[in-house]
Amino acid sequence: MSNTKSWGNYPKVAASRVTISETERLKALLNEVDDVISYGNGRSYGDSALNDNVVCIKPKNYFLNFDEEKGLLHIQAGALLSDILEFSVPRGWFLKVSPGTKLITVGGAIASDIHGKNHHVEGCFSESVAMLSLLLPSGEIVSCSNTENVDLFRATCGGMGLTGVIVDAKIYLKKIRSRYIDQKTIKTKNLKETFEAFEKYKDQPYSVAWIDCLAKKGRMGRSLLMVGDFSDDGQLDFVPKKKLNIPFYFPSFVLNTLSVKLFNAFYYGKVKAGVSEQRVDFDTFFYPLDSINNWNRIYGKNGFTQYQFILPKKNSFEGLEEILKTIANSGKGSFLSVLKLYGKENENYLSFPIEGYSLALDFKIEKGLFPLLDQLDEIVINKGGRIYLAKDARVSKATFEKGYPRIEVFRKLRRKYNMHEKFNSIQSKRLGI
């Protein structure tokens, strides 16, 4: 048994961990062990990849084939997105959809049906998946896509590893002509201006806003909106950057209302009013936190949870206004507060995005936090929203079910293939999935 944890360092569990690189060994393991979940690079924030028995698939990371004319990459599920980018960017290709970190596995990206700064244009990661191979509880490996074993495909993309083990996948990349992004930063004074800016720049391929979640009254919802697209200068040379490192866990008292307020004031104040333009490399634009090893340690040994919710577009302004007021009044602010615009919902049973706006906030684990999050849950559900499973470590079954109307379809499929007897996580047990 070994201590196994998520990126949020909460919860921590004693788990039996087996590392697998060969498919036949994986099949044999599944004959020996019940109640298991796949574990990639440990970057999900909550308990979706934690259980008493964990199978680590990261060593299954081979590149199997690349069709450079179509941009179609066949790759094993343990490969990191960073591995793909080191291979593809010098060749003029990039991920169609990428989250805020490149340090996740392909299997994790599919299981979470991750999204990025361009959901309003490209949708979720599953939109770039041409095919995936899935190991079922029976030991059979089946091919799944939007045209083959469609029910398994829609359940697996966003299914949090509960349908089986993703073995490999074929994914489409997008053509680029530069490793640089032409970025515009728009400074807004309040939530109304922030929404107006998102709508004004909605045709930009990429958009994301940092928002000051502790600002009150007329400054509530003030933000820095970053929008951009790839440059066209032909510069595709790619050298990974050197990284800083957080060598130890910060004392818990370092992050408090005052320090978060000071950080937010500094971060907001570093940008001049109006619109500023600059050219940045893709690492700076897409993956700013990847430049700091072990940044999760700043929240202390007790860890943190990321609270990410999404609201339908018609209710987004009113809902966010109420949520920001609640957070500001609590004093439990987050300096990592990310607001994004989303396009239409897809067909997958448990995918997170719906057309609207989402907000992601990091909170250190401390007394009084979970009652606050329960308050936020109530607002989210009343406004027709839902919570992101890839970030969650504590939401109730009732709240989860209200946000995911296709949960019974998913449960029925799990029973059909006996997945509920083989593949489970702490999260799936908590939510009765």
Among 107, 112, 156, 116, which Cα is nearest to 136's?
156
Residue 168 is predicted with a pLDDT of: 98
Residue 426 is predicted with a pLDDT of: 97
Among 86, 97, 80, 94, which Cα is nearest to 41's?
80
Residue-wise pLDDT for 321-365, tens only, equals 999 999 999 988 788 899 999 999 999 999 999 999 999 999 999
What's CA 196's distance to the chain center, in Å? Answer: 25
Q: In the predicted model, is pLDDT for residue 98 greater than 90? A: yes
Residue 195 is predicted with a pLDDT of: 98
Which residues does residue 417 pair with via DSSP β-bridges, in sequence order? none
Q: In the predicted model, is pLDDT for residue 105 greater than 90? A: yes
| Residue 225 or residue 238, greater confidence | 225
Q: Which architecture does CATH list for 63-176? A: 2-Layer Sandwich (3.30)
Q: What is the mean pLDDT of residues 229-252?
A: 92
Share of the chain above pLDDT 90, in %: 89
| Residue 387 or residue 19, greater confidence | 387
- For residue 242, name the pLDDT band (cuts at 50, 70, 90): confident
Site of tokens 């970057």: 43
Residues 6 or more apart whose Cβ sits within 8 Å of residue 116:
97, 98, 99, 100, 122, 206, 286
Domain(s) of CATH 3.30.70.2520: residues in the chain: 180-403
Residue 361 is predicted with a pLDDT of: 97
Summary mean pLDDT of the chain: 95
> Per-residue DSSP letters for 281-315?
EHHHHH-GGGGEETGGGGG-TT-EEEEEEEEEHHH
d(CA 116, CA 124): 8
Q: Is the dihedral angle over the CA atoms 125, 431, 404, 321 positive or is it negative?
A: negative
Residue 375 is predicted with a pLDDT of: 98
Residue 372 is predicted with a pLDDT of: 97
**Stretch (H or E) spanning 356:** strand 356-364
d(CA 269, CA 245): 26
Share of the chain above pLDDT 70, in %: 100
Residue-wise pLDDT for 150-208, tens only, equals 999 999 999 999 999 999 999 999 999 999 999 999 999 999 999 999 999 999 999 99
Residue-wise pLDDT for 414-425, tens only, equals 999 999 999 999
d(CA 252, CA 300): 5
Q: What is the mean pLDDT of residues 271-288?
A: 95
- For residue 406, name the pLDDT band (cuts at 50, 70, 90): very high
Residue 334 is predicted with a pLDDT of: 85
Residue-wise pLDDT for 32-68, tens only, equals 888 999 999 999 999 999 999 999 999 999 999 999 9
CATH code of the region 180-403: 3.30.70.2520
Q: What is the mean pLDDT of residues 92-113?
A: 98
Residue 1 is predicted with a pLDDT of: 67
Q: In the predicted model, is pLDDT for residue 2 greater than 80? A: no
- For residue 240, name the pLDDT band (cuts at 50, 70, 90): confident
Domain(s) of CATH 3.30.465.10: residues in the chain: 63-176
Q: What is the mean pLDDT of residues 242-256?
A: 91
Do 45 and 305 meet the contact criterion of CB atoms below 8 Å apart?
yes
Residue-wise pLDDT for 70-97, tens only, equals 999 999 999 999 999 999 999 999 999 9
